[in-house]
Structure 1
């Protein structure tokens, strides 16, 4: 594999990172809203959000990307592959992160909520200053673990023809007929992205477990 092919892989890597960042950041914003809705105490809202989460957790990401891209086109809404994949990853991430953070919010000792109510703190102040900082700490290892899965999930963007790292590797492999070499390099690049995050997530999990004893 020559210099030009490697540069093409790096361009695919750039788009993989871009998709991961957009999907994760937008998913975090939407996921926080979902987590708050799941713990708001209004049964109708909680049920509706639980259904949303069930849909995205109960169906493959590949199908979700397919539906966003081709399904919207069927009803006359045409968006390019980049926007479709970014939207699909955001919806997918919001459901998983929302459930992770919902569990973290509920894991905060109930006494914290009761104490903040006794201090006459409003809902926004109670969540922002008391509950969410503790929930974030609890959820951080699982959140990082999900980010690793999201990075690897970007490889499914090829279903709508978007050229990220895996599709770039497939294109090069079809051109130079060296699949083991090409996908060996692709695997190494994914490993470089994901392994440090996995190690860091495991470190945080051990650290928080030790401090909780």
Structure 2
């Protein structure tokens, strides 16, 4: 039975948007933790660590996100790791995020004046103290606008989870389009949902960038 796209159908799309937000948050937090490790490896003294981190970043920046999600969802079961779609998509997005955030934060770390690092070492601080107390607070502040900008792209990237059957905003829109046969209205609503999620983040990123420029 064909239905019109009305308030109940819109509520279904909004319910999917809730999972979009949750998926984005999980992928960002997990990817951020791994991305920080990648950034530290990228700026380490060990050539092996730097090389390994560089290869890691190139893999995730040089391949499409969809292929990465397919690899996790279809490839890991071949290795004996059975994952449900939620876990597979979260892992795929987190790995993708770690490659980009690692490079963003690497730039922030290297933007901290070398003189501050040398002064901290002259005071007898070890590597851990230098990074935690001196470098990382400044590096994360410097790279915050780019980090928020990447989060916007990550939110939009969750739409690819629809191809694996996860019912987030895009998949909810697909289902409603199949029921109502009103794809223009349905996907206009889905687009507005993504716009409502991403616009505050975009404005925040621009505001942070202007504030950093004034301080600079």
Q: Shared fold (TM-score greater than 0.5)?
A: yes
The CA distance in 1 between the partners of 2:208 and 2:46, in whole Å, is 33
Partner of 2:166: 162
Matched with 1:36 is 40
Task: Map residues 145-160 of structure 1 onto 2, 5 A cutoff.
Answer: 145-160=149-164
Runs of 4 or more off by more than 3 Å in structure 1? none
1:192 matched residue in structure 2: 196
1:137-180 CA-to-partner distances (Å, cap 9, x unmatched) read 11000000000000000000022111110011011001101111
Kindly state the Cα deviation for residue 31 of structure 1 after the two structures are TM-superposed: 0.7
Whether the 8 Å CA contact 2:14–2:193 is kept in 1: the answer is no
The normalised TM-score by structure 2 is: 0.96
Distance 1:11 1:87 in 2: 22
Contact 1:66 1:159 (C-alpha < 8 Å) held by counterparts: no
Q: CA RMSD in A?
A: 0.8
User: How many pairs align?
Assistant: 212
**Aligned pairs for 1:63-78 within 5 A:** 63-78=67-82
Tell me how far apart the structure 2 counterparts of residues 20 and 76 of structure 1 sit (CA, whole Å). 27
Match of 1:100 in 2: 104
Contact 1:65 1:159 in 2 (8 A): no
Is 2:169–2:190's contact at 8 Å kept on the other side of the alignment?
yes
Mapping 1:39-188, distance limit 5 Å: 39-188=43-192
Distance 1:134 1:76 in 2: 42
CA distance, structure 2, for counterparts of residue 67 and residue 40 of structure 1 = 29
TM-score by length of 1: 0.97
Give the deviation of 1:7 after TM superposition.
2.0
The answer (yes or no) to whether the contact 1:64–1:88 under 8 Å persists in 2 is yes
Unpaired stretches in structure 1, ≥5 consecutive residues: none
Q: For 1:172 and 1:159, how far apart are their aligned partners in 2? A: 15
Aligned match of 2:15: 11
Cα drift, residue 76 of structure 1: 2.6
